[in-house]
Amino acid sequence: MKPTQVRARHHRIRVLILATLVAVLGLATLAACTGSSGNQVSGGNVISQTTYKEFNQAVPYPYTAAAPSDPLERENLAARLKLYNSAGDTNYVYIFAWGSPTPIGYYVIKGKVSSTESQMTATQITTNCGSADGCVLDAIGDDGSYGPEEGGQYGVFFFTSTGTLVETDQPFVVSSEPIKLYVNVPELDATVAQPGN
């Protein structure tokens, strides 16, 4: 065998070994990604559970298996829902300009403040698009149009005690009673006649 043939044969063997090594590493990586993902998740769960046990031993949960005798958070939520979700109740909405510590005025309202992002229909629909899972699409809003509602993420609306709709994206505070600190703040009443009318 000539020296050039020997070198060519050695080159082919090296290429074959390298290709085999790459294939084995590729299969091992693929197996790790598909076959052991559950093990990675369960491994993370084991760590989380171990950490929880350590934390719980250091600072135990203050209640036994029975519910707390006085679940204040749930009581607060229930009382707020009853008070704030009653159409006949009077509330006071103090409107602030962005960055101002003093309200520009307040409204007397009946009922509650609502988000302009709330709607009565679903915000997304699932439709058949040839996929087994379907496609999730944005649904039309209550007004029949697509896109964000007026006011964006900070937008709210409410009805004054005289029935006037007010919508704003300004910061606000709602209180079930007038706030004494703001006694000199003017009431904003949309029903007051404009000069010249």
Output Rg (C-alpha) for the chain, integer angstroms: 33
For residues 135 and 52, is the Cβ–Cβ distance under 8 A? no
pLDDT over 60 (residue 197): no
**Averaged confidence pLDDT in the chain:** 77
pLDDT band at 174 (very low <50, low <70, confident <90, very high): very high
Predicted local confidence at residue 180, as pLDDT: 94
Distance CA 115, CA 125 (A): 21
pLDDT over 50 (residue 68): yes
Which H or E run includes 77? Answer: helix 72-84
pLDDT tens digits, 153-172: 888 999 998 989 999 999 99
The residue-averaged pLDDT of 19-24 equals 65
Q: Which residues of 129-154 are buried (b: 16+ CB within 10 A; e: fewer)?
A: eeeeeeeeeeeebeeeeeeebebeee
pLDDT over 50 (residue 18): yes
174 contacts: CB under 8 Å, gap ≥ 6: 84, 91, 92, 93, 94, 112, 113
User: What's the DSSP call for residue 17?
Assistant: H
CA 1 centroid distance within chain: 74
